[in-house]
A and B are shown apart, each in its own frame.
Chain A
Amino acid sequence: MAHEKHDVLQGTLDMLVLKALQLEPMHGWGITERLEQWSERVLQVGQGTLYPALYRLERQRLIKAEWRATANNRRARYYALTAKGRRQLDVELAKWQRMTRAIELVLVATLD
C-alpha cells in the first residue's frame, strides 16, 4: 500500500513540473510559485524535492536547461520543455485523467 502512494506522489510531481513549463520556460523558483498560484496554495512543492526532480527530468531529456537573464537582469537557469517532454506531458495527462475518472467511479459507487 505504502509503495503505491509513493509512486503516485513522485509521478505527480513530474507531471506538475512538465505542466508548469507548458506555456513558457521558467526557473526553479518560478515553477514553485506558479504551482502554488495555480493550486490556490493547496500544493506546496518542497524545494528539496523539486531540484532533484528537475535534474532527473533533464537527464531523461524531457526538459532542457539554459542560463538566461531574468526581467530584473539576474542570472537564472531556465527550464523548457523538449519535444519529448511535450509528448510525455500528453501521455501523463491522459493517464491522470483515466486515473481520476476511475477513482471518481469508485467513490460514486461507494456512495450508493
Chain B
Amino acid sequence: MRRLVNAWHRLRMWLRRGELARGLDDEIQFHLEQQTDKNQRAGMTPMEARRAARARFSGVEATKDVIREEFFPAALGNALGDCRHAARALRRAPGFAAAAILTLGLGIGATTAMFSVANGVLLHPLPYAHADRLIEIVHAAPSIGANQLYASPAIYLAYRDHNRTFDAIGLWNWSRSPVTVSGAGDSEAVASAEVTREVLAILGVQPIAGRLFANADDVPGAAPTAILSYDYAQRRFAGGDAVGHRLVVDGVSRDVIGVLPADFRFFAYDVDLFYPLQIDRATATFPSFGGRAIARLKDGVTLASANADVARMLPLLIAEFGGRNSRLANGLEPRLRPLRDSVVGTLDETLWLLLGTIGLLMLIACANVANLVLVRMQTRQPELALRVALGAGRARVARVVVAESAVVGLAGGALGLAIAYAGLPWLLSLGANVLPEIMAITIDPRALGVCLALSLGTTIAFGCLPLLHAALPTSRIAAVLRTGTRTVTEGRQHQRTRHLLLISQVAFAVVLLTGAGLMARTFDTLRHVDPGFRDPATILTFQITVPTTMSAESSADVDRIARLHRIMVDRFSAVPGTMSVAFASFNDGLPLDDDGRTVSLVAEHSLTPQADETSGKEVQFVSPRFFETMHTPLVAGREIAWTDVDQNRPIALVSENLARRWWGSASAALGQRVSARESGPWRDVVGVVKDVHHTGLDRAAPEVVVYPAVPSPTAVFVVHSARVGTPGYLPDLQRALSSVDPSLSLARVRTLADLYRHAFARTTMTLRLLALTGAMALLLVVIGVYGAVSYGISRRRREIGIRLALGARRGEVRRMFVGRALLIVSAGILAGLGGALLLTRWLSSQLFGVSALDPLTHAAVAVFLLLAAATASYLSAATASNLNPIDVLKAE
C-alpha cells in the first residue's frame, strides 16, 4: 500500500516534471536575488553582491543537477535519463569532452580500420572451398642455393600417379599470357592461363554456365576448348550467352565450354581465359620447372606428412623422367606451403608489424582517456560528495560516473566508426599495389567491438577508480562541501597513477615514432639506390605475342617471328617522337618486375674458382640498342648488333658486378669467354653493362648475362620517347603494330616509372601507415600533456593566485609547470627509447640501409617529442595561468 502511494506520488511528480524543473530554477534564482539584495544593503556594489551570493551558494548548477537527478522521477531509475544528465554535465566541460571523444574516436577508428585490413589479409581464409587444405607444390635445392622451385609437367605427372596424400593435383602456367583472341570481333590481347583439368576443380569453383574442363579436354589432340571469366564473357559477347561460341585463340579455334562466376579470382591474377594445358607424357623431362602446381590435401593430412609423401615420390619422379646424374634433381627437397602463403607472400610480416603498431596506438589512446577521466572525476569530487551527503549510495554515484563514461565512450565510438569507414578506402588505396585484391576487405565488426569495449572499459574503470579507492571518505565529504569546488587535494596515489599513465603514453609514442623514423630513413636510402636506368617516365614497355600455328614452334614460325620483330622495331621507330626502340625475347629483361629466369654460366678463365659457382645467373636475350633505350649505361665494350642477332653469333654481354667478380674490372672482361657448360660452346664477352636491379631495390642487383635476341612468340618491347604518357602516342604505336599484322595487339603496357613505383609499393605503404600511427600517437601525447598541465594548474589555482599576488612573475609560474611536465615526459622518453631498442628489431626485415638501432633516428625522435611536449605544456600553461589573482582569492 505504502509503495503504491509512493508510486502514485512519483507518477504525479513525473507528470509535473517540466513545471518542477522550471520551479527549481525560479526558486534558486529567487534565493540568489534575496542574497544579492542583502549583500547590497550591507554596502557591496551590485556586481560584488551578485558574485558573493553565487559564491556563497557554492555550485549552483551542481546543486540543481543533484536535485533534478535525486528527486525528479524522470531521471530516476532511467538509464536514458542518466545519459541525458551526463551529456548535460559534459556540455559544461567542453574541453574534457572534446579531448576524450577525439582521443577515443582516433584510437577506435584507426585501430579498427587497420585491424580490418590486416585481419582481412592475414586471418581470412582464401575464398575457395576447403581453403585450409589447399597447398602449392614448391621445392628447394639448398645445395645450389635455390629455395623456390615450382613444378613442371614431369613433376605433375609423377605426383599425380604416385601420391597418397592428395585429393587432387593440378598444373597451371601463364607464361604464354596474354594470348591473342580473334574471330568474332576485333583481335585483342587477353590475359590467360593454361590449366590441367584439375586446377579449377581444386579451387572448388562452380561455373555459372556450361562446365569445367574434363579428362577428355586435356589429352593431347583433344578438341580445343576454353573457359572464360564472367567479365570477359560479358565484354566479348555483349552480355549474351558465351557457351557454344568459338574463339580463335593464338590461331587455334576453341569452343567456349564454360563461364566462371563474377566473384571468382585466380589468386592475385586477372585471368580472363583458361584453356587446357595438354601434356605429352613422351616429351616431359626432369629436372624442369616450367609451371606451378596446386593440390588439395586429403582430409586430415598435415603439411608435414604431405612433404614426406613428396620426398618419397622424388626418386620415382627421377626414375621415370630422368635427372639421375643432375646435381639439382638429386638435391631436391619438398617445401610444400599453404596456398594462402603463396598468395599473401611475405606481406604477412608487414601486416603483423602494423598490427603491433596499432595495438600500441590503442594503448596510447586508452592511457590518454584514462588520464582524462581520472582528472575529470577529481574535479567532480565536490559534486559527488554532495550526492553522498544527500544519501546517495556508492552504487548511485557509480551510476553517475558510468553514465558519463558511457556517453563519452559512445560518442567516441560513433566518431571512431565514422573515421574507420572514411579511412578504410584510403588505407586500401595506400596498399593498392601490395594487398592481394583477392581478399575482400571490409570493416571487421569484431575489431570494432573489441576496440569499443576496450575504450569503454578503460573509461569506466578509471572513472570508478576514485570511488573504489575510497577517495571519498566520509570524513572528507564535509570538507569538500564546506570549501566548495576545486580545492580538493588529490590523493598521492592518483597523482602517481596519472604520471604513470602519461609516462607510458609517451613511451609508446616513442616506440611508434622510432619505427616511423626508421622506415622514413629506409625509404630515403632506397630512393638513392641507382636502379640502373634513368628517366623512367619516358620509357614505355609492352608485350607483344605473335600467334604460332602449332604448339611446338616450327622453323617456319621461327623465321616469321624474327622477321616480324625486325619490322616492328622499324615501324615503331617511324612513329613521330620515338627516339629508340628495342626488345627482349620472352618476357624477361625488365627491371624490378620480380620476373626473370636464371641459367648456369661458367667462365673459361676467372679470378674465382668456377667450381664454387652454384647460383645461376639471370639471363636476357635482347635486340640491338636495348640498353641505350633503357638508359642503362654501357661500362665497356659494345652493345649487341643486328649482325649478332641475324647470324646468331657466339657473343655475350655481362653485368658490371659479374665482370668485377670474375675478372677484376669491366674492361678486363672484354675478350673473355663464357659458356653454359664447362665443355663449351664458348661465347666471347664483347660488352659490360651497368648493374640493373631486377627483383627489388632493397636486394643486390643480380649478376646478368646477356645474349642476342632469339625469335620467341612473346617479346617485351621498350620504347624511349618524350611523347610517352601523352595522349595519342599509344594509339600511334598500336596503329604501327596493326600495319605489321592487324591481329596483333599491345599488352601489359607500363612505363619504367610504373615498375619503379611498384618496387616501392610495400615500403611506401609501410612508411605511410607507420607515419600515420606515429602522427596519431604524437597528437594523442600532445593532447595528454596539454590536459595534464592545464589540470595541474587548475588544481592549484589558489596557490598560483597567492604567488602572483605576492609578486611572482607569470613566466616563473609557467616555467614551474612546464618543467614538471617535461620531467615526466623525459621519463617517458627514456622508457620509450628502452622499449624501442627492444622492439624495433621486429622491424629489421622491413629496413634497408639503416640499422634498427640507428642512434640518429632514436635521438631525433626523443628531441622531437620533447619539443612537441614542451610546446604543448607551454601553451597549456600560458592559457591556464592567465588568471587574475584578485578573482581567484576572492572566489576562495
Contacts and interface: CB of A to CB of B under 8 A. Distances in A.
Contact of A76 (B27, B63, B482): B27
Given A52-B63, A56-B391, A76-B30, 10 more contacts: A2-B474, A6-B474, A47-B63, A48-B59, A51-B63, A52-B67, A52-B386, A55-B67, A67-B23, A75-B30
A19 interface: no
B30 A29 contact: yes
Contact of A3 (B34, B56, B474): B474
Nearest to A58: B71
Interface string B27-52: 11011011100000000000000000
> Lowest 9 CB-CB distances: which A-B pairs, in order?
A29-B34, A2-B475, A2-B474, A55-B71, A29-B31, A48-B63, A6-B474, A47-B57, A77-B27
A108 B23 CA distance: 49
A51 B30 contact: no
A112 B63 CA distance: 47
A10 interface: yes
Given A46-B482, A56-B390, A59-B71, A51 B475 contact: no
A27 B390 CA distance: 20
B481 A46 contact: yes
Contacts of B23: 67, 77
Given A46-B58, A52-B66, A29 B35 contact: yes
B473 interface: yes
B62 interface: yes
Nearest to A6: B474
B26 interface: yes
A100 interface: no
A29 B56 CA distance: 12
A110 interface: no
Contacts of B482: 46
B31 A28 contact: yes
Given A47-B63, A52-B67, A55-B70, A10 B34 contact: no
B30 A47 contact: no
Nearest to B392: A52
A23 to B, nearest CB: 19
A48 B474 CA distance: 17
B892 to A, nearest CB: 15
Interface string A1-19: 0110110011000000000
Contacts of A6: 389, 474, 477-478
Contacts, number: 77
B386 A48 contact: yes
A55 B57 CA distance: 17
Interface string A39-54: 0000000111101100
Contacts of A67: 23
22 contacts: A9-B389, A27-B27, A27-B30, A28-B31, A29-B31, A29-B34, A29-B35, A46-B58, A47-B58, A48-B62, A49-B389, A51-B63, A52-B66, A52-B386, A55-B67, A56-B70, A56-B391, A59-B71, A67-B23, A74-B30, A77-B23, A77-B26
Interface in B439-482: 473-475, 477-478, 481-482
B28 A48 contact: no
A47 B475 CA distance: 20
Contacts of B386: 48-49, 52
Interface in B37-95: 56-59, 62-63, 66-67, 70-71
Contacts of B63: 47-48, 51-52
A77 B31 CA distance: 10
Interface of A: 2-3, 5-6, 9-10, 27-29, 46-49, 51-52, 55-56, 59, 61, 67, 74-77
Contacts of A48: 57-59, 62-63, 386, 481
Nearest to B56: A47
A76 B62 CA distance: 21
A27 to B, nearest CB: 7
A75 B390 CA distance: 27
Contacts of A2: 473-475
B380 to A, nearest CB: 14
B67 to A, nearest CB: 5
B28 A51 contact: yes
Nearest to B5: A61
Contact of A49 (B31, B56, B481): B481
Contacts of B62: 48
Contacts of A51: 24, 27-28, 63, 67
A55 B70 CA distance: 9
Nearest to B23: A77
Contact of A52 (B26, B70, B473, B478): B70
Nearest to B58: A48
A108 to B, nearest CB: 28
A78 B490 CA distance: 40
Contacts of A76: 27, 30
Q: Which of A3, A49, A51 has the most CB of B within 10 A?
A: A51
Contacts of B481: 46, 48-49
B472 to A, nearest CB: 11
B71 A56 contact: yes
Nearest to B24: A51
Contacts of A52: 63, 66-67, 70-71, 386, 390
Contacts of B391: 10, 56
A8 to B, nearest CB: 11
B71 A75 contact: no
Nearest to A52: B390
B71 A5 contact: no
A28 B473 CA distance: 29
Contacts of B56: 47
Contacts of B9: 59, 61
Contacts of B475: 2, 5
